[in-house]
Chain A
Amino acid sequence: MHIVVCIKQVPDSAQIRVHPVTNTIMRQGVPAIINPYDLFAIEAALALKDQLGGKVTVLTMGPPQAEPALRKALSYGCDEAVLVTDKLFAGADTLATSYVLASAIKTLHQETPVDLVFTGKQTIDGDTAQVGPGVAKRLELELLTYVSRIVSVDQAANSIRVERRAEGGVQVLETRLPALITMLEGSNEIRFGSAPDMFRAARAEVCVWDRNAAGIEDIKKVGLKGSPTIVSRVFVPSPRAQKAQQIEFDAANPEAATQTLLDKVLVEIPKVKKQLDQTRDNKRASRSAGERHE
Chain B
Amino acid sequence: MSEAKTDKPIKKRKIKLDEELLAYKGVWVFVESERGHVHPVSWELMGQGRRLADQLGVELCGVVMGAPGPDLEAQCRAAFAYGADRCYRIASPVLAEYRNVPFTRALTDLVNAHKPEILLLGATTLGRDLAGSVATTLKTGLTADCTELAIDPEDRCLLSTRPTFGGSLLCTIVTLNYRPQMATVRHRVMPMPDPQPERTGLIVDFEAGLIETDIVTKVLEFIPDDQRDKPQLPYAEIVVSGGKGLGKAENFKHVWDLAKVLGGEVGASRAAIHAGWISADRQVGQTGKTVRPALYIAAGISGAIQHRVGMEGADCIIAINNDPNAPIFDFAHYAIVGDCNQVLPALGRTFAGYLAHQGS
Question: Which A residues are closer than 8 A to B by beta carbons?
Answer: 10-11, 13-14, 16-18, 20, 22-25, 27, 90, 93-95, 98, 124-134, 136-138, 142-146, 161, 164-176, 185-186, 227-237, 239-240, 242, 244-247, 249, 251, 254-255, 257-259, 261-262, 264-266, 269, 271-272, 274-280, 282-283
* CB atoms of B13 and A230 under 8 A apart: yes
State the CA gap A246–B336 with chains docked (Å).
6
In-complex Cβ contact of B346 among A164, A255, A271, A283 (8 A)? A255
* CB atoms of B335 and A171 under 8 A apart: no
**Minimum CB–CB distance for A97 against chain B, Å:** 11
B57-65, B71-79, B142-150, B192-200 - interface stretch: B142-150
Q: List 30 A-B contacts (CB under 8 A).
A: A23-B169, A25-B165, A127-B145, A130-B131, A130-B132, A130-B142, A134-B133, A137-B137, A142-B101, A145-B100, A145-B129, A169-B223, A171-B98, A175-B217, A176-B216, A228-B140, A228-B178, A230-B13, A231-B171, A232-B11, A233-B8, A234-B4, A235-B6, A235-B7, A237-B308, A242-B333, A244-B331, A249-B336, A249-B338, A257-B343
* CB atoms of A258 and B294 under 8 A apart: no
B23-31, B46-54, B348-356 - interface stretch: B348-356
* A255 in contact with B13 given A145-B125, A235-B6, A275-B294 (CB within 8 Å): no
Q: What residues on B are CB-neighbors of A166 within 8 Å?
A: 34, 98, 125-126, 222
Q: What residues on A are CB-neighbors of B159 within 8 Å?
A: 232
Q: Does B163 contact A (CB under 8 A)?
A: yes
* A274 in contact with B294 given A13-B167, A228-B176, A229-B142 (CB within 8 Å): yes
* CB atoms of B222 and A172 under 8 A apart: yes
Q: What residues on B are CB-neighbors of A235 within 8 Å?
A: 6-7, 169-172
B109-117, B203-211, B313-321 - interface stretch: B313-321
* CB atoms of B263 and A279 under 8 A apart: yes
In the A-B complex, list the 9 residue pairs whose CB atoms are closest, starting with the nearest: A13-B166, A133-B132, A254-B346, A228-B141, A239-B330, A249-B338, A229-B141, A228-B178, A244-B335
State the CA gap A164–B3 with chains docked (Å).
38
Q: Scan residues 1-58 of chain B and give those whose CB is less than 8 A from a CB of chain A.
A: 1, 3-13, 32, 34-35, 37, 39
**Max chain B Cβ within 10 angstroms of own Cβ: one of A17, A90, A169:** A169
Q: What residues on B are CB-neighbors of A242 within 8 Å?
A: 333
* CB atoms of B169 and A236 under 8 A apart: yes
Size bracket, chain B contacts: 35 or more
**CB-CB nearest in chain B for A278:** B237
Q: What residues on B are CB-neighbors of A245 within 8 Å?
A: 333-335
In-complex Cβ contact of A173 among B7, B135, B174, B218 (8 A)? B218
* CB atoms of B34 and A167 under 8 A apart: yes
* CB atoms of B218 and A174 under 8 A apart: yes
* CB atoms of B128 and A145 under 8 A apart: yes
**CB-CB nearest in chain B for A185:** B280
Q: What residues on B are CB-neighbors of A24 within 8 Å?
A: 3-6
**CB-CB nearest in chain A for B126:** A167
Q: Does B214 contact A (CB under 8 A)?
A: no
Q: What residues on A are CB-neighbors of B346 within 8 Å?
A: 254-255, 257-258
* A251 in contact with B339 given A143-B100, A234-B5, A258-B347 (CB within 8 Å): yes
* CB atoms of B174 and A229 under 8 A apart: yes
Given contacts A124-B287, A231-B164, A257-B338, 18 further A-B pairs with CB under 8 A are: A16-B166, A24-B3, A125-B165, A130-B132, A134-B133, A142-B217, A145-B125, A173-B99, A174-B220, A230-B176, A231-B173, A233-B172, A239-B330, A246-B335, A261-B336, A262-B354, A269-B316, A272-B294
Q: What residues on B are CB-neighbors of A230 within 8 Å?
A: 10-11, 13, 173-174, 176
**Minimum CB–CB distance for B10 against chain A, Å:** 6
* CB atoms of A232 and B10 under 8 A apart: yes
* CB atoms of B132 and A251 under 8 A apart: no
State the CA gap A211–B124 with chains docked (Å).
34
* CB atoms of A172 and B220 under 8 A apart: yes
State the CA gap A246–B219 with chains docked (Å).
56
* CB atoms of B217 and A173 under 8 A apart: yes
Q: Does B97 contact A (CB under 8 A)?
A: yes
In-complex Cβ contact of A95 among B135, B168, B270, B339 (8 A)? B135
